[in-house]
Amino acid sequence: MQFHEYTRFDALGLADLVRRGEVSPAELLSVAMARADATHGQLNAIIRRYDDRARQRVQQAFTPEQPFAGVPFLIKDLFQEWEGAPSSWGNAAHARAISPITSDVVRRWTDAGLVIFGATNTPEFGAKNMTEPRDFGPTRNPWNTKRTPGGSSGGSAAAIAAGIVPVAGASDGGGSIRIPAACNGLFGLKMGRGRVSIGPMAAEGLFGAAVQGVLSRSVRDTAAMMDILQGPEAHAPFWMPRPDQAYLQAIDRPPRTMRIGYSTESPTGTPVDPQAIAATEDAVRLLTALGHHVEPVKLPFDGKQLAADFLLAWFCAQAFLVDELCRQEGLRLSDFEPDTQVMAAMGRTVSGPELCGCLERWHLHTMDLTRFHAQFDLWLSPTISAPPLPVGALTTPPALHMVNKVLSGLGLFGAIRKSSFFQEIILKNLGWTPYTQLANITGRPAMSVPLYWTPDGLPLGVQFVGPVNSEARLLQLAAQLEHARPWFDKRPNL
């Protein structure tokens, strides 16, 4: 099989070729590895290879019952552990530790027949919306290598857009599936809280805001992935009930006519690029032509308060993670990026009652969205407020790192965190991605759909947020949009 033939198929299509004996898993793996080798210097999407393990895997038997039998696959190098392999979480010092276990999602992927041959780049601890870890270097966007593929699943997104694999592992704690999907012309669905286990290493990620998942080129690949990933694990603290029908079967039916409210205003009050507005208005016209009722609405939540409540919890989670790695693995603060050190220092200034109050407000944001969904089936917005940014656009200047070091030494982060100056900095840093945290805090499913490309040829997705247990509804709409405005054959010139 040649590369141009390989990219004509999604993951289910490749697995079907394997079942029919038209191609072998070894041939598919060879094409994927060759494409990874050819694009690595331009993209830096994959930071670790498992070639030997993959070659051994394709020599073993696959079964017709495995939906992705023999299909090459990449896991994200963040909380997707594979027993016997390192996992860096974007940090080279942590990569010295070898995982003694396999994550639930990785086990389910291998059980489904996928052939893992690498791990994709991610920012340190997934804490940024661009994929530029200090230890592994930036990942670049296949549509324009001067631009970011987004984060934190930026390595996976770049690999898919470049044609290395048709689907790859991802996760989403504040937009980390939807942001890269929007930047790379891909479909990205964040499942609802409790739908997929994040274990066995942890009960929940980021107080339930972070979920495991995939990025893909086709809606049906994501639907089939959801079918294999969703469902209970004995060690999970809770789980969502199984859907009445498999997601892959559900997308065969068109969605019912829906009432959709849309907003383009930034929840944090920061500027929105005209292209992001144009992408949303284009989606409104398409949805209207398909028979849906779409109308402008006020933002269904307090965006500035939600951003503050998201980041406070995030800082606390970073502090816990840094302190645990220092305790368990002997890491030093210098092993972490300066920005991570600052976030952790901020988190250490948060009191127990303050964190509890923050998490109680998460419930208030959920109530706001619940009231909205009592009137509307879905909320539509831009996924990101502007096209993919240049690589390095959000890098903290070295001079500010020095200021932060002095503030840390003086123990002033507690006062700084509560200052209006710091709040403005936070809102500015979230300015490119102010729309996505809502679904994480509320635990609702949400998706980014690739319906729009800018005049410069850059993808720019739009986001839909649904109520609890609405994954099937979102997938049905996505399949309808995919049929009306196909994106599968749109490929970067790389």
Q: Is 481 helix (H, G, I), strand (E, B) or coil?
A: helix
Identify whether 298 is a catalytic site residue.
no
Which one of 76, 153, 197, 216 is the catalytic residue? 76
Identify whether 30 is a catalytic site residue.
no
Residue 333 CB neighbours (<10 A): 14
33-42: b (≥16 Cβ within 10 Å) or e: bebbeebbee
**Do 28 and 69 contact (CB within 8 A), yes or no?**
no
Identify whether 176 is a catalytic site residue.
yes
CA distances from 473 to 30, 254, 377, 466 (A): 37, 9, 9, 8
Q: What gap in Å lies between CA 138 and CA 125, rounded to an integer?
A: 15
**Do 23 and 16 contact (CB within 8 A), yes or no?**
no
Which one of 103, 171, 176, 470 is the catalytic residue? 176
Q: Taking Cα atoms as reference points, which of 161, 66, 52 lies closest to residue 116?
A: 52
Q: Which residues is 306 bridged to in the sheet? A: none
Q: What gap in Å lies between CA 196 and CA 202, rounded to an integer?
A: 12
**Do 36 and 164 contact (CB within 8 A), yes or no?**
yes
Question: Left if phi > 0, otherwise alpha if psi is -120 to 50, otherwise beta: which for 125?
Answer: left
Residues in CB range of 473: below 8 A, 6 or more apart? 255, 258, 377, 378, 466
Which one of 87, 88, 103, 152 is the catalytic residue? 152
Residues recognised as catalytic: 76, 152, 176
